[in-house]
């Protein structure tokens, strides 16, 4: 006598998802590689590219120049969302280091300014 568990029957009745699983895994790996290579500066460069700059600027409210203007804040937020460590401290530290590497003025690594700048985003 052969006995089947409910789990065995349920799994044998489903169509094979071999190709779908491969496709999904491949897509996940591509997204992970892109996210690992993405940082706030690459997002900033994309947002301020000639193709997007006018559209982006037209959607932003009037603002004064601050340490974190809207375009930089948005690029930092995108990088933060795609980073495995999604903490504000991580993205602020990363931005502070990259500012120094690129010869920009030093900034604080306290997260208050960045968090307030995120709240000002439309």
What digits encode the pLDDT tens for the residues 82-117? 888 899 999 999 888 888 888 888 889 999 999 999
pTM: 0.60
Best CA proximity match to 71, nearest among 83, 54, 84, 57: 57
pLDDT at 18 over 60: no
Domain ranges of the chain: 39-120
Per-residue pLDDT tens over the stretch 56-90: 778 877 777 778 888 889 889 988 988 888 999 99
**Whole-angstrom Cα distance, residue 68 to residue 115?**
10
**pLDDT value of residue 3:** 47
Q: Does 85 or 33 have the greater pLDDT score?
A: 85
Per-residue pLDDT tens over the stretch 35-48: 555 577 777 777 77
């Amino acid at each position: 006598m052969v006995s089947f568990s409910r789990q065995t029957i349920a799994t044998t009745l489903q169509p094979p998802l071999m190709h779908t699983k491969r496709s999904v895994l491949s897509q996940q790996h591509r997204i992970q590689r892109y996210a690992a290579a993405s940082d706030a500066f690459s997002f900033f460069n994309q947002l301020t590219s000639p193709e997007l700059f006018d559209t982006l600027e037209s959607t932003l409210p009037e603002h004064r120049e601050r340490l974190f203007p809207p375009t930089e804040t948005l690029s930092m937020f995108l990088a933060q969302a795609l980073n495995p460590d999604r903490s504000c401290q991580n993205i602020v530290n990363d931005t502070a280091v990259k500012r120094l590497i690129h010869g920009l003025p030093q900034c604080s690594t306290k997260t208050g300014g960045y968090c307030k700048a995120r709240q000002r985003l439309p």
